[in-house]
């Protein structure tokens, strides 16, 4: 499959994405645990059907030491016993934050309270920004049909 746009060949994309990706770096430098960041990025990308981001975050998580079992169970995290309570709270916030158009009411108070119980304000802020950031990146990639399969861990670091 060929992408509809080659972002690296378009000056406007280069200018905009340079600033946009700096937000991703700030999230990466946050105190939100790496495992949580990658699980959240993967789950958002699964929900949105972003093949390029599923490829990237599966490989980045594995490179960071994530196990194949946990990666394979992210899509069914509610029924899986391999995630911590903090990760489960983050994944629930991720799903409600990603499905805002479907849910109508956005993120419920109960989901927010659970996430806040397991994450301090700095981590919670990073989590919220990560969910929004990943949804935006997914849309950039899905709209332009960015292909998956050839991502090498560390490419954007």
Please state the rounded mean pLDDT for residues 113-124: 98
- SS3 at position 134: helix
Phi, psi of 18, deg, nearest 5: -60, -45
**Domain that includes residue 82, residue range:** 17-143
As for how many domains the chain has, the answer is 1
The answer to the question of residue 32 being in a domain is yes
In a domain, 150, yes or no: no
pLDDT of res. 2: 87
Cβ neighbors of 17 (< 8 A, separation 6 or more) are 7
Closest CA to 113 of 140, 97, 135, 93: 93
DSSP state letter for 16: H
pLDDT (0 to 100) of residue 144: 95
Residue 27 lies in a domain: yes
139 inside domain: yes
Q: In percent, how much of the chain has pLDDT > 70?
A: 99
Q: What is the pTM of this model?
A: 0.94
Query: With bands split at pLDDT 50, 70 and 90, how would you rate the model's confidence at 157?
Result: low
Tokens at residue 53, please? 């981001």
Q: What percent of the chain has pLDDT over 90?
A: 76
CATH number at residue 24: 1.20.1290.10
Q: Is residue 86 part of a domain?
A: yes
Q: Is the pLDDT of residue 156 over 90?
A: no
Distance CA 129, CA 121 (A): 12
21-70 pLDDT, tens per residue? 898 899 999 999 999 999 999 999 999 999 999 999 999 999 999 999 99
Specify the range with the lowest mean pLDDT, choosing from 10-14, 68-72, 111-115: 10-14
Mean pLDDT of the chain: 94
Calculate mean pLDDT across residues 106-117. 96
pLDDT given for residue 147 in this prediction = 92
């Amino acid at each position: 499959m060929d992408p509809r746009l080659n972002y690296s060949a378009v000056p406007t994309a280069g200018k905009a994405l340079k600033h946009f990706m700096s937000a991703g770096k700030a999230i990466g430098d946050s105190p939100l645990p790496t495992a949580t960041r990658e699980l959240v990025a993967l789950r958002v990308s699964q929900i949105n059907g972003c093949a390029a981001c599923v490829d990237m975050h599966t490989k980045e998580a594995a490179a960071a030491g994530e196990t194949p079992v946990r990666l394979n169970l992210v899509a069914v995290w509610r029924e899986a016993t391999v995630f911590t309570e903090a990760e489960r709270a983050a994944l629930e916030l991720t799903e409600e934050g990603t499905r805002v158009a479907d849910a109508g009411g956005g993120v419920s108070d109960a989901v927010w309270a659970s996430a806040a119980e397991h994450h301090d304000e700095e981590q919670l802020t990073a989590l919220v920004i990560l969910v929004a950031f990943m949804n935006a990146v997914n849309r950039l990639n899905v709209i332009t049909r960015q292909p998956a399969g050839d991502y090498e861990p560390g490419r954007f670091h």
